[in-house]
Homo-oligomer: A and B are copies of this chain.
Amino acid sequence: MPSQSPSQDPSPAFGREVPSDEQAWLAAYDPHAFAPVAVTVDVVALTLRQDELHVLLVQRAGPPFQGCWALPGGFVRAGQEDLDQAAARELAEETGVDTAALQRVHLEQLGSYGAPSRDPRMHVVSIAYLAFAPNLPAPRPGSDAAAAAWVPVASLDPVAGPRRGGPGDHPRPAPAGGLAFDHAAILAAALDRARSKLEYTPLATAFLDREFTISDLRAVYEEIWGEKLHPGNFHRKVLSVPGFVESTGHTTAHGGSRGGPRARLYHRGDARLLHPALLRPDREEEIR
């Protein structure tokens, strides 16, 4: 675990020998001489709760955007951690999941956001991360948050929209006034990424427990893509992609809540890419 501070330990990076004149130059180096740009990580943590996509949000305890909902995140600890480590730490701090449970969470870098005006305090560059997790416990708010909650994405995403907004629908517990900073744009990018990752990677399984049925898997695709898929064709397709899922030999103990036979159980296979991919249907309009 690399956790060195330059001032304490100007040891060579990558095992390279540092010439003695360079040593002297390094000793005279003042990190504060550089322009102050702060670096944060923000995490878009997605999970399915009752077959509905939720994102983890925190309510900001202090300014700026006090009282607004925002993505969990915080400053990178200089000299102490990698970006991936910082993202995992922030996620753990906000959700209360222990290190062991974090192993089951897929975490990947999404992109960086650095408009000078995105934070009124100063120029802050944020490295956004995307997390896929199986049903996680209710979060406990961290130190710098007034509250933390899993929020239905349908209540936030203007594209997917409140598509369950039928006549007799409950009002969503949506944070009023949008998200803090540019977090709405980050969330939109995260959903785009998630939707396309389902096409060519087996990451849909990251939303499920270790053992799952093909119908469970289909429910993930349907919820994240926002469209119904043909059950029979989906079933055959998933089983035909090498390394996507492997049979456990078991079945569910009971049929579905509305009847039907017991379903076979599968766990994730060893493929990291799906070939051929599961392409989303009817995307002509998004091409141009």
A1-50, CB < 8 A from B: 2-4, 6, 10-14, 16, 18-19, 21-22, 25-26, 29, 31-32, 34-39
Q: Is the CB of B26 within 8 A of A78?
A: no
- 15 A–B contacts, CB within 8 A, in A order: A6-B122, A25-B63, A34-B75, A35-B75, A37-B39, A39-B39, A76-B114, A79-B116, A82-B116, A114-B127, A243-B288, A271-B288, A272-B287, A272-B288, A275-B283
Chain B residues with CB under 8 A of A25: 62-63
A115 to chain B, nearest CB (A): 5
Of chain B, the residue at the smallest CB distance from A34 is B38
Task: Give the residue name and chain of the B residue nearest to A116 (CB).
Answer: B79
| Residue in A37, A86, A271 whose Cβ sees the most chain B Cβ within 10 Å | A37
> Which chain B residue has the least Cβ–Cβ distance from A41?
B114
Taking CB atoms, residues of chain B closer than 8 Å to A123 are: 6, 76, 78-79
> Which chain A residues in 75-133 approach chain B with CB under 8 Å?
75-83, 86, 109, 111-123, 125, 127
Q: How far is A100 from B286 in the complex, measured between Cα atoms in Å?
A: 29
Tell me whether B109 and A78 are in contact (CB under 8 A).
Answer: no
Q: Indicate which residue in B63, B112, B117 contacts A109 across the interface (CB closer than 8 Å).
A: B112
Q: Which 10 A-B pairs have the closest CB atoms?
A: A35-B78, A83-B114, A31-B36, A31-B122, A22-B63, A37-B39, A6-B122, A78-B123, A273-B287, A37-B78
Check: A284 CB closer than 8 A to any chain B CB: yes
Q: Do B275 and A122 have beta carbons less than 8 Å apart?
A: no
In the complex, chain B residues whose CB is within 8 Å of the CB of A66: 19, 22
Contact between A120 and B18 (Cβ–Cβ < 8 Å)? yes
Q: Using known A-B contacts A37-B38, A122-B6, A287-B275, determine if residue A115 contacts B79 with beta carbons closer than 8 Å.
A: no
Q: Which of the four size classes fits the interface of chain A?
A: 35 or more
Question: What is the bound-complex CA distance between A60 and B20, given in angstroms?
Answer: 17
Q: Known: A79-B123, A273-B286. Is A4-B117 also a contact (CB below 8 A)? A: yes
Q: Assess whether A209 is interfacial by the CB under 8 Å rule.
A: no
Task: List the B residue with the shortest CB-CB distance to A76.
Answer: B37
Q: Is A158 an interface residue (CB 8 A)?
A: no
- B116 near A4: Cβ-Cβ < 8 Å: yes
Q: Can you name the residue of chain B whose Cβ is closest to the Cβ of A108?
A: B111
A31 and B121 contact, Cβ closer than 8 Å, known pairs A26-B63, A273-B287 = yes
| Residue in B10, B36, B288 whose CB lies within 8 Å of A78 | B36
Q: Determine whether A181 belongs to the interface, using a CB cutoff of 8 Å to chain B.
A: yes
Q: Contacts A29-B121, A121-B26 given: A116-B80 contact, CB under 8 Å? A: yes
**B contact residues around A283 at 8 Å (CB):** 275
- CB-based nearest B residue for A29: B121
Q: How far is the CB of A61 from chain B (nearest CB, A)?
A: 12
